[in-house]
Amino acid sequence: MSKAALTPAKGGLPSRRLISDVIYASGAYQALLKSRVPKRLVHTPVEIFPGNGERADSIYQGHFEFAGFSLEQDDQVPWEAESMPLAWHKKLHQFGWIRDFYANGTEAARRHSRALILSWIEKFDGYRPYVWDEDVLAHRLISWFCYSSILLEEEKSEFNFKFLRSLRRQYIHLGRITKNKPEGEDRVASWQALLYGALSFPDMGKSSGKYLASLEAELSRVVLADGCHISRNPERHLILIGDLIGIRNTLMAANEMVPVAINNAIDRLAPAIRFFQHGDGRLALFNGGLKLPEGYCDNILSLSDATGRAPQRFPQGGFERIKAGRALLILESGEGGRRAGEQSHAGLMSFEFSYGRERLIVNCGAVRDPESAWGNALAATAAHSTLGFDNINAVFPARHASGEEHKLAVRNEDEGNIWLDLESNGYLDTVGVLHRRRLYLDASGMALRGEDQIIPERMPPSGRSHFSLRFHLHPELSISRSASGKNILIRTPSGTGWKFLTAAPRLSLEESVYCSEPGERRHNQQIVISGQLIDQEPILIKWAMTRLSD
């Protein structure tokens, strides 16, 4: 039995009462977290992610915006907010926003950040569900360690004592819950927080070696051999390399040796980030990742000192990249397979296409609250530029334990012209069909042609024979139909014209949505080629996207 009765929510957080919550909240367990409070920290870890001083001003004025949700509050203390989703609360309790107070740089910002921390300690210094969960706790500890130099006062003070006591209690709890816990999706932050504590607390230095070893083991698990992260989330690649740069710089500042595994991970992640960058310098939208502010990727990459170029493909991660002229196509092939829990979005064989700095064909994006109705909708196959059947999501192939994988993508190139042939059985079990996709990008980058073939292996179940081939279009494009109605005309903000054409009988323009940044929800359109399987006859759909002459 894993759950006890639900209890009323506190402080605006959803209610949850697991057996572990009962144990950790007990007086007996809380007593185990008591420890000698250090008078100081011997090192301050290095944080490389930039803050925004204007956001600190907004927080000071009672405006709390996290995970794409905003709260306006007069009393400046947000802990009791009852109308915010769990994703908002998690970001709030992770304290990543302290970097904004650091960027503000004023003494008033320091005082206000201390006041917020003291009010947090008053309410949450004892165990609380969600607030003390591993992922939230680890990120909060990292923030507190990294910005301790601006938080701690020069002279002995009540704030220093309460801050360091709470920091130590939380640190001891994190060390306890990381032991013998099943592997999650990504636990780098936990080992990072524990390492930072070992380097910062005067009496914990001997523990740094074991936490570095755990971090190295975790990196070997979450960063695949080709440099792709197991989440297949482009944004996660960037956040991880930023964390590793911070760890590297922290170790160097403490005169500690930087393990080869950390430098190797940085060197492999940097080309992966470049792989996912469109011509505007921002990231493609796959598997829950968002595109981040302009220049953010390049700034982090410049700090990495890694020079590797973007690869053409990820054989283990399951992505392909085609570049010709000023055109770029990024596609998720599913090659390499997925283990249980590694598939967050059902965008098998979906792609994004850009020309220069302008995006043309996109995926719909994501929200910071993946468990919400919007999160589920944006994770569906229909929210990606690929083939879909009714409301059924494509299923990625499983990863074989032997490591031997069936090659799903074949690439050919001749005088700069590139062909990509792909095969997917993502609908074989549910609908009984194979999907083969052939893409051709000419050397100039001005013509993208595709063939999508649907091959029934058996009669589809009742109600599962309708298919839709979707091409979601960026919201900044102007879309219209030709006079004949057989072609779609596209104009970009720069005035470049494109034409989408197909001989398929059922071509339509439909409403779509675009969520590329936290809180963004923009209306856009999608090109849809639809039809129905009849008996077991294969269906071949040919389409093309060509740039019009100036």
pLDDT tens, position by position, 232-283: 999 999 999 999 999 999 999 999 999 999 999 999 999 999 999 999 999 9
Predicted TM-score (pTM) of this structure = 0.93
* Nearest partner of 365 among 185, 186, 522, judged by Cα: 522
DSSP track, 30-68: HHHT--PPPS--S------S---HHHHHHHHTTEEEETT
Q: Which pLDDT score, from 0 to 100, does residue 216 have?
A: 96
User: Is there a contact between 306 and 267 (Cβ–Cβ < 8 Å)?
Assistant: yes
Q: What angle do CA 372, 130, 8 make, to 5 degrees?
A: 85
Give residues with Cβ within 8 angstroms of 234, minimum separation 6.
273, 276, 283, 284, 285, 286, 287, 289
- Cα 223 to Cα 115: distance, rounded to the nearest angstrom: 39
Burial state string for 86-114 with b = 16 or more CB within 10 A and e = fewer than 16: bbbbbbbbbbbbbbbbbebeeeebbebbb
pLDDT tens per residue, range 145-170: 999 999 999 888 999 999 999 999 99
- Cα 28 to Cα 127: distance, rounded to the nearest angstrom: 12
Cα–Cα separations (whole angstroms), residue 472 to 85, 188, 361, 491: 28, 34, 6, 15
User: Is there a contact between 40 and 46 (Cβ–Cβ < 8 Å)?
Assistant: no
- Cα 293 to Cα 517: distance, rounded to the nearest angstrom: 9
pLDDT in tens, the chain (550 residues): 233 333 334 557 888 888 999 999 999 999 999 999 999 999 999 999 999 999 999 998 889 999 999 999 877 689 988 889 999 999 999 999 999 999 998 999 999 999 999 999 999 999 999 999 999 999 999 999 999 999 999 888 999 999 999 999 999 999 999 987 766 678 999 999 999 999 999 999 899 999 999 999 999 999 999 999 999 999 999 999 999 999 999 999 999 999 999 999 999 999 999 999 999 999 999 999 999 888 999 999 999 999 889 999 999 999 999 999 999 999 999 999 888 777 789 999 999 999 999 999 999 999 999 888 999 999 999 999 999 998 899 999 988 765 556 678 999 999 999 999 999 999 999 999 999 999 999 999 999 999 999 999 988 777 778 999 999 999 999 999 987 778 999 999 999 999 999 999 899 999 999 999 999 999 999 999 999 998 888 999 999 999 998 6
* Nearest partner of 132 among 98, 170, 159, 167, judged by Cα: 170
Cα–Cα separations (whole angstroms), residue 340 to 59, 117, 372, 417, 494: 39, 38, 21, 37, 43
User: Is there a contact between 299 and 284 (Cβ–Cβ < 8 Å)?
Assistant: no
- Cα 87 to Cα 11: distance, rounded to the nearest angstrom: 14
Give residues with Cβ within 8 angstroms of 221, minimum separation 6.
183, 230
